[in-house]
Amino acid sequence: MKILTKSLYIAGLQCPRLLWYAARRELPEPTIEQLHRFEQGREFEKYAHKLFPGAVNLRDKNKKQEFTSRGPKMSLVSKKTVFESVATVDNLLILTDVLEPKKNGCNLYEIKATTEVKKQHYDDLAFQKYVCEKSGLNILKTFVIHLNKEYIKKGKINPKELCVIEDVSDKVNSIKNVEKNIEAFSKIMESKKAPDITISSNCNKPYTCALKDECWNTLPKDNVLHLTNWRQYWKFFQQGIIDIKDIPKNAKLAEKDKIIRKAVTSCKPVIDKKKIKEFLSDLKYPLYHLDFETFDTAVPIYDNSRPYQKIPFQYSLHIEQENGNTEHYEYLSLGKKDPRIDLLKQLKEEIKGKGSVIVFNKSFEIGVLQRLAEDFPKEAKWIKNVLSRIVDLAEVFKNFYYYCPTQKGKYSIKKVLPAITGKGYSELEINNGGEASAQYFNSFIKGSGDDNLKQDLLLYCGLDTEGMIWILDELKKLC
């Protein structure tokens, strides 16, 4: 009989197929970015444990005890709060983060390296509570310990300020379908055949499913899930209208979705030359093409930083003159110290005077710059000036002034650059921001650095800004 753990239970709530493969350990290997996230959870856990002085960690070999179907033996640890206790009953198994003994029972805590409580946390605790109570332990209250998003590091980390303990007992107690789910999930795990593919909005929630790429590869090349109106495209999908070409001509579509359908049916880009010309006419030379790379951690590691704050460690800057001449500047922090100070100092020397600051998807760069202004108020005036000059190149594609069928409904630079220029990121060793962030953190913050990685990072970030020049060149040709 296969064992149903709390992680498998959550997988079952998301997708029966995900549960089946997870129970057999046949899921794709986690990405380096996912492994970084797991590590952040473990790091936060260390600080959450400090909220319970004198507690016993049952992960320690010399203290390890196991909860069995006969009931948790709290007396084995002198009725102290325990971490990592195991409870098993029937085919169910849980590893509890924190059990705190009280009169007539225990309080149950789940540690989550998030900045708020999420629905899946209630389900997680409801399953744990069920297993604990079935094994003979009365659970009095349930809590989630999560990050305080307002916490700002000032010297040594204060666990009581870093952590928020939230009582979620009412939400957890309101969940009444745990036993029914356990029965259904146990049958799925024991089945000799994987459940059929069922594509739905659950493919992306509460997490992006590890099987999503495999399942979605069964869809037509130009499918309705590329449309922008998610309510509409799920409606089509449920009606059996999967290919964009099969959408009825009289179907009511959003304007952007009309453009997507037109591009797909004509097999060529849809271009609004007037809007593109208006966009280009607003640009003021010289153009400063700017891109940041950042990393974040659950527990801040630098003073004047917050949980999951985007810490810029690298930038690329291409300065383009009106006559087409360009200069390239770049920064990459190679030490373990806070990179923000030196990065700001150098960037301030390079972005001067007037001219548009071109970025792709401005919310990211604006967010980084605004945080820098808050954390380093002496530079706020210069940063405010840069912010006032930002122009988002992504707006051309976000507003569908240009749309190519190969974009698949997306407007990220990873989709736009090959669509409009024929060039892309596929030949680079590092070809996405999440990988760049995790690789950098592992090598330069945790490790001692890597010259090959340094060059890969410079090439990747440099392509982001040089790619913006190429995209603008192509847009100019259209007008």
Residue 260 near residue 244, CB atoms below 8 Å: yes
pLDDT of the residue at 63: 54
Are 162 and 27 members of one domain?
Answer: yes
pLDDT at 68 over 70: no
Residue 156 domain-assigned (yes or no) = yes
Whether residues 460 and 329 share a domain: the answer is yes
Q: Are residues 302 and 174 in the same domain?
A: no
Per-residue pLDDT of 310-340, as tens digits, reads 999 999 999 999 999 999 999 999 989 999 9
Q: Which tokens go with 231? A: 């309510």
Number of CB atoms found within 10 A of residue 439's CB: 21
* Residues 184 and 295 reside in one and the same domain: no
Within a domain: 270: no
* 280 and 180 part of one domain: no
Residue 304: inside a domain, yes or no? Answer: yes
For range 427-452, the mean pLDDT: 94
Query: Is pLDDT at 65 greater than 90 in this prediction?
Result: no
CA 402, 405, 407: angle at the middle one, nearest 5? 75
pLDDT of residue 75: 42
Q: Please, are residues 151 and 305 in contact by the beta-carbon 8 Å criterion?
A: no
Decide if pLDDT at 77 tops 60.
Answer: no
pLDDT band at 59 (very low <50, low <70, confident <90, very high): confident
d(C-alpha 163, C-alpha 144), whole Å: 10
Q: Which residue has the tokens 């940041």?
A: 292
Q: Is the pLDDT of residue 92 over 80?
A: yes
- Mapped onto helix, strand or coil, the DSSP state of residue 326 is strand
Q: pLDDT at residue 140 above 70?
A: yes
Residue of 380 and 62 predicted with greater confidence: 380
Label residue 153 left, alpha or beta by phi (over 0 means left) and psi (-120 to 50 means alpha): beta
Q: How far apart are CA 164 and CA 150, in angstroms?
A: 10
What does the pLDDT read at residue 449?
83
402 and 284 together in one domain: yes
Read out DSSP for 281-321? HT--SSEEEEEEEEE--SS--STT--TT--EEEEEEEEEE-
Query: Looking at the structure, do residues 35 and 131 belong to the same domain, yes or no?
Result: yes
Complete DSSP assignment for 119-168: HHHHHHHHHHHHHHHHTT--EEEEEEEEE-TT----SS--HHHHEEEEE-
pLDDT over threshold 50, residue 379 = yes
127, 160, 190: which is the final residue of a domain? 190
CATH of the domain at 474: 3.30.420.10
Q: Distance between CA 272 and CA 478 in Å, rounded?
A: 9
Distance of alpha carbon 446 from alpha carbon 427, whole angstroms: 27
Residues 6+ apart with CB under 8 A from 156: none
Total domains present in the chain:
2
Q: How far apart are CA 96 and CA 123, in angstroms?
A: 14
Instruction: Report which residue type is found at 208.
Output: T
**Are 451 and 303 within one domain?**
yes
User: Under a CB-based contact definition with an 8 Å cutoff, are residues 57 and 49 in contact?
Assistant: yes
Q: Residue 110 above 70 pLDDT?
A: yes
Asked whether the bond before 339 is cis by omega within 30 degrees of 0, the reply is no
Structural domain for 142, as ranges: 4-190
> Sorting pLDDT into bands at 50, 70 and 90, what band is 71?
very low
Residue 66, strand partner residues: 86
My answer on whether 174 and 323 are in the same domain is no
Residue 384's DSSP bridge partners are: none
pLDDT at residue 271, rounded to an integer: 98
| Residue 443 shares a structural domain with residue 328 | yes
State the helix-helix crossing angle for 451-478 and 433-440, rounded to 10 degrees.
Answer: 160
Distances from the Cα of 430 to the Cα of 40, 72, 342, 356, 462, angstroms: 22, 48, 24, 28, 12
Task: Report long-range pairs for 72-76 (Cβ below 8 Å, ≥24 apart).
Answer: 72/99, 72/106, 72/132, 72/135, 72/136, 72/137, 74/99, 74/101, 74/106, 74/137
Cβ contact 414:428 at 8 Å: no
In a domain, 141, yes or no: yes
CA distance 311 to 282: 31
Q: Which two tokens stand for residue 293?
A: 């790379």
User: Of 399, 405, 460, which is closest to residue 428 (Cα–Cα)?
Assistant: 460
Pair type for strands 82-89 and 92-102: antiparallel
In a domain, 238, yes or no: no
Both 357 and 462 in one domain: the answer is yes
- Mean pLDDT across the chain: 94
Over pLDDT 70: what percentage of the chain? Answer: 96
Of 174, 190, 206, at which residue does a domain stop?
Answer: 190
Does residue 206 contact residue 119 with C-beta atoms inside 8 Å?
A: yes
- Out of 156, 190, 224, a domain closes at 190
This prediction has a pTM of: 0.93
pLDDT tens, residue by residue, 263-297: 999 999 999 999 999 999 999 999 999 999 999 99
Residues 179 and 287 in one domain: no
* All residues at 6 or more sequence positions from 352 whose CB lies less than 8 Å from its CB, including other chains: none
For residue 267, being part of any structural domain is answered with: no
- We report the CATH number of the domain holding residue 59 as 3.90.320
Residue 358 resides in a domain: yes
User: Per-residue pLDDT for 17 more than 50?
Assistant: yes
Instruction: Identify whether 216 is part of a domain.
Output: no
- Tell me 28's DSSP state: P
